[in-house]
């Protein structure tokens, strides 16, 4: 991985990198925050997956996570949201294609050549950053909106890889909302049974869940009813009696104002399991 930029903040290092991804068949950028403790010993990591239209820079510049991560001694690993480059197929809409990889492995042409974000987040990215930086193999995963969907799916499907899972305003039931239905049809085809592998509600319903999950949802979120459906996730939490909780926040919307207001609570939630 090649360092593109680096700045000091809260005693740690905020680094932007680029590398060639063999999984996505393109060049990728990402951001990494190393807390000051990483100068003396290996530290655990929180992977944060961003939402539609975002890059790695949205969370690193807007969430205000570095102060608390530095106090706790947790690294932040912040990937991009999709493959990038002139050779990567795209569509002229904000909720599909570049910036909207949905953290799945596409099976349909022309998307399958590049859109393998599930494997990238699960395998290639951890191997790459853990080979370059002083990181332990203790990881947790979080995300926002589409990234919240990704964090829930990847975390629930791979409990041996992550200590805890959290999400801000996640797309909880993508097989039953317009964003998910369009993206899954293009990326995965028309077999709706195959979609269930990337739906947190369906995964927990089928297999249960063993890792603790925290979800924060604003009640003034304009995507709440049509796209996010936290009530469906709450229903499977209740049915399976797993370690999951949804916190509802009056007056908060879908923006980074919401994320920055609750990021300390989520980081401390993960620190309980990572440390």
Catalytic site positions: 145, 221, 254
- C-alpha distances (whole Å) from 116 to each of 100, 102, 121, 123 are 12, 9, 9, 11
For the chain, the distance separating the N- and C-terminal CA atoms, rounded to the nearest angstrom, is: 27
Q: Alpha helix locations (H) across the chain?
A: 56-62, 66-72, 117-119, 125-132, 146-157, 178-188, 192-195, 200-207, 230-240, 256-274
CA 29 from centroid of its chain's CA atoms: 15
Q: What backbone phi and psi angles, to 5 degrees, belong to 134?
A: -75, 80
CB 187 within 8 A of CB 218: no
């Amino acid at each position: 991985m090649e360092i593109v930029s680096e700045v000091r903040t809260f005693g740690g290092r905020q680094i932007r990198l680029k590398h060639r991804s063999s999984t996505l068949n393109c060049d990728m950028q990402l951001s990494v925050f190393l807390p000051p403790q990483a100068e003396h010993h290996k530290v655990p990591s929180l992977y944060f997956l961003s939402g539609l239209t975002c890059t790695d820079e949205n969370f690193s510049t807007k969430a205000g996570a570095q102060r608390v991560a530095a106090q706790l001694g947790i690294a932040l690993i912040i990937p991009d949201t999709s493959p990038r480059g002139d050779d990567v197929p795209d569509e002229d809409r904000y909720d599909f294609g570049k910036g909207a990889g949905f953290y799945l492995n596409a099976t349909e042409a022309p998307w399958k050549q590049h859109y393998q974000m599930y494997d990238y987040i699960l395998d290639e990215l951890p191997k790459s950053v853990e080979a370059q930086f002083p990181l332990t193999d203790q990881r947790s995963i979080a995300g926002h909106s589409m990234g919240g969907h990704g964090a829930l799916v990847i975390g629930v499907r791979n409990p041996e890889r992550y200590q805890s899972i959290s999400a801000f305003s996640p797309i909880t039931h993508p097989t039953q909302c317009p964003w998910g239905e369009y993206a899954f049809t293009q990326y995965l085809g028309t077999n709706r049974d195959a979609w269930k592998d990337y739906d947190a509600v369906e995964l927990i319903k089928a297999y249960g869940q063993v890792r603790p999950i925290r979800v924060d949802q604003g009640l003034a979120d304009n995507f709440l009813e049509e796209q996010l459906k936290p009530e469906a996730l709450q229903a499977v939490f209740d049915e399976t009696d797993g370690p999951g909780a949804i916190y509802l926040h009056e007056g908060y919307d879908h923006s980074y104002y919401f994320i920055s207001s609750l990021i300390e609570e989520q980081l401390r939630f993960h620190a309980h399991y990572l440390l």
